[in-house]
Structures are given as structure tokens and as C-alpha cells.
Amino acid sequence: MLNGVQRPERMLLLASGSPRRRELLALLNLPFEVIPSDADETTPEGWSPEEIVTALAVRKAEAVAAGSAGREAVVIGSDTIVVLDGKVLGKPADETEAAAMLSRLSGRTHEVFTGVACLGLPDGKVRTGFTRARVSMRNIDGREIAAYVATGEPMDKAGAYAVQGLAAVFIERIEGDYHGIVGLPIYLLHGLLQEFGISALA
């Protein structure tokens, strides 16, 4: 018991270096530790978006699990990609690539896929899922793209924008899970955690 609330026996380990994922997981009000994963994020040609995000979420969770032997825990891994015309947009390598991504997304509707994996320790049970959201951006002109890139906000984000940040002024419409776009779909994650006997409302 902590503050009169029943707490799960297994610690949650967030296998991520993303500050967004940390903030979103904190919404559940459950104690957790953050352990960034060093998993390889390359995938073979021809994988579907859902295969990519699910496999990378599992890989991130497995990398942290490998360094957490002997612990009783549930490791959470997650991965987000942006998909436009069947092409995957990951995080931009530099400002030029960020501007190019934004001009491709301008005036179009794209999809954001986020995979989540929960890996139980010590048993090794794995549960996964993914979310898919459709995001419509208004036309963005070259001056706005340059000004947005200059803020630095696009640099560590899939698709070179942050819906939760200044890019909100570009986004006309979202169909799907908002938290999934930001990087951690809370509704999906909570359902997976319940399969490990963990609930934010226990």
C-alpha cells in the first residue's frame, strides 16, 4: 500500500529515452523507472507499418529486459512512425530533412502508427498492440516551415513535428488515438497492463 492505494507488485520499467513517453506513462499514477534502450532500430525492406512498430517495441523491451535479469517487473517498449503514401518517415537526420518531411506532409493526410510491447519478468510473457491514427495537416508554406524548423521542435520527432507542441497550429483533424501520436497510447497500454494484473484504478 502506498498513500492508501494498492500498488502492483511488479515494478514498471519504461524502455525509452523519450521525455514524451515518460510524461504519458506518468498519467497512470503508477510508480515506474525509466531505462533507455539501445536496441537496433533498423528493419528489413517490405515490412508493413504495424510490423515495424510492433517489432521495434518488442526489441526495445527485450533490450531492457536483458539488462534486468532477476527482477520482478513489466518492461514497456514503444515505437512511433509516420507513414505517407506507403513511405515511412522516421526522425529527421537534420534540419534540411525536417523541412523536406514537412513539405511532403503539407496539405495531406498521413498515418501515425505506434506499437507497444509489455514484457513480464521473470516469466518472459509478452503482449503487444499498436494504434493507427489519421492526421490531416493544412497547407504549410515555406516561410512557416523554416520558422517551425528553427524552433528545434521537429528534430527528435517522427515525421518532424509534434502534435503536442507548436505543430498543433498545422493540424486540422485527427482520427484515432491522440496519445498514440505523441508516442504512448495510454488506452492500449493500460489494457495490456491489465493482462499482467496491473491496473491504474485498482
Ligand X SMILES: Cc1cn([C@H]2C[C@H](O)[C@@H](COP(=O)(O)OP(=O)(O)OP(=O)(O)O)O2)c(=O)[nH]c1=O
Q: How far apart are CA 5 and CA 37, in angstroms?
A: 30
Q: How far apart are CA 152 and CA 167, in angstroms?
A: 12
Looking at the Cβ atoms of 151 and 199, the one nearer to ligand X is: 151
Answer yes or no: 79 catalytic.
yes
Q: Is the dihedral of CA 34, 39, 45, 48 positive or negative?
A: negative
Q: How far, in whole angstroms, is CA 118 from its chain's centroid?
A: 13
Instruction: Report in angstroms how near the CB of residue 141 gets to ligand X at its nearest.
Output: 20
Q: How far apart are CA 65 and CA 70, in angstroms?
A: 10
74, 193 contact by CB (below 8 A): yes
Selecting among 38, 40, 79, 141, the annotated active-site residue is 79
Instruction: Report in angstroms how near the CB of residue 201 gets to ligand X at its nearest.
Output: 25
Looking at the Cβ atoms of 39 and 193, the one nearer to ligand X is: 39
Q: Is the dihedral of CA 136, 161, 139, 170 positive or negative?
A: positive
Q: Which residues bind ligand X (CB under 6 A)?
A: 16-18, 20-21, 36, 60, 78-80, 82, 91, 112, 156-159, 161-164, 181-183
Instruction: Report in angstroms how near the CB of residue 150 gets to ligand X at its nearest.
Output: 18
Looking at the Cβ atoms of 10 and 60, the one nearer to ligand X is: 60
Give me 110's grid cell.
Answer: 498521413
* Secondary structure class of 87 (helix, strand, coil): strand
Return phi, psi of residue 14, to 5°: -90, 115
Instruction: Report in angstroms how near the CB of residue 113 gets to ligand X at its nearest.
Output: 10
Looking at the Cβ atoms of 5 and 166, the one nearer to ligand X is: 166
Q: What positions carry a catalytic annotation?
A: 79
